[in-house]
Amino acid sequence: MEKDFDLIIVGGGPIGIACGLEAQKKGLSYLIIEKGPIVNSLFNYPVNMQFFSSSEKLEIDEIPFISKEAKPKRNEALEYYRRIVTSNKLNIHLFEKVSSVKTYNEVFQVKTEKETYSSRQVIISTGFYDLPNKLNVPGEELPKVSHYYKDPHFYANQKLAVVGASNSAVDAALECWRKGADVTMIIRGPEVGQRVKYWVRPDIINRIEEGSIKAYYNTTVSEIRPDVIILNTPKGEVELPNDFVLALTGYMPNFEFLETMGIQLSEDEKRLPDYNPETMETNIKGLYLAGVICGGMETHKWFIENSRIHAKIIIAEILKKIKANTKTVSSPSLKEGKPH
């Protein structure tokens, strides 16, 4: 098995796949390493999830994405990205987690649970969906609490508290209520999030106003017990009977992973990784960032629509560097258009 590459891409989400496809087209030897199945984050999205982007905005390399409705569903996106990987025979290792990326004399050593690989360039495209923003309250570890929402059927006839007021929380609240759950939203601020999809926001506001879905504003959860949750409301403590809690309060990138590679993070609460937006190269030479990981704690800033471009930017930069080097030394692996 080949273990030495021009480029290793950590993370096989839509953007890691876009990077692999571009690398292949340009004749670089590359390997995508993904810890789960193809587009693992999308696989773990709610089963009925519909993207807010229309399908052409999720296309990579202008490969047509045909969906039934203008905005595709999760299953259609899985089909699209999976077909890109299989039809183009992308070089991807699945269910292989990268544990460390270290550099020695400008060569990276990428360690996984199974192997150690080397490459001159590495792209980190690990997204932000692995680490939920925790509530940090007693009882959060109870099995009735989840930071991921999958299927409304599970919550039918149950008292469900949905913590959060952004798209994920609102979609879950509406869907579960429509499948027969008794839903209460716990909202930290004074209103439903302003970034909630403009066609969904009136729906949730109307359901709350008519009393179908209950909502506590300016409220936080202070404790979760097996059959109740304790709320801190503007009117004092409230004890709410409860069967399940969906804490949908967002996610964050794995900052520790970035720091162990030597990538600098801003010291403010945004924790923005240090990279050059013109090349996507970080403060470590040859180490690039792609996709939604670039936003640090600002996870709403980047999405597929506006980060798919990272693939072409990075590969163009890598080719430029390789060409500059091959003026003196020739690179045998650079064969235009040859898949690896």
Ligand X SMILES: Cc1cc2nc3c(=O)[nH]c(=O)nc-3n(C[C@H](O)[C@H](O)[C@H](O)COP(=O)(O)OP(=O)(O)OC[C@H]3O[C@@H](n4cnc5c(N)ncnc54)[C@H](O)[C@@H]3O)c2cc1C
Binding site for ligand X (CB under 6 A): 10-16, 33-36, 39-42, 45, 49, 51-53, 97-98, 125-127, 129-130, 168, 291-292, 303-305, 307
The distance of closest approach from Cβ of residue 270 to ligand X in the complex, given in angstroms and rounded to an integer, is 17
Rounded to 10 degrees, what is the CA torsion of 135, 39, 339, 317?
-40
Q: Looking at beta carbons only, is 100 or 326 nearer to ligand X?
A: 100
Whose Cβ is closer to ligand X: residue 19's or residue 224's? 19
* Tokens standing for residue 53: 């982007």
- Give the residue with the Cβ less far from ligand X, 85 or 229: 85
Min. distance of Cβ 54 from ligand X in angstroms?
Answer: 9
Distance in Å, CB of 186 to ligand X, minimum: 19
Please, what is the minimum distance in Å from the beta carbon of residue 252 to ligand X? 12
Q: Smaller CB distance to ligand X: residue 65 or 303?
A: 303
Q: How far is the CB of 52 from ligand X (least distance, A)?
A: 4
Nearer to ligand X, 132 or 331 (CB): 132
To ligand X, the closest distance from the beta carbon of 105 in angstroms equals: 24
Task: Closer to ligand X by CB, 301 or 321: give it.
Answer: 301
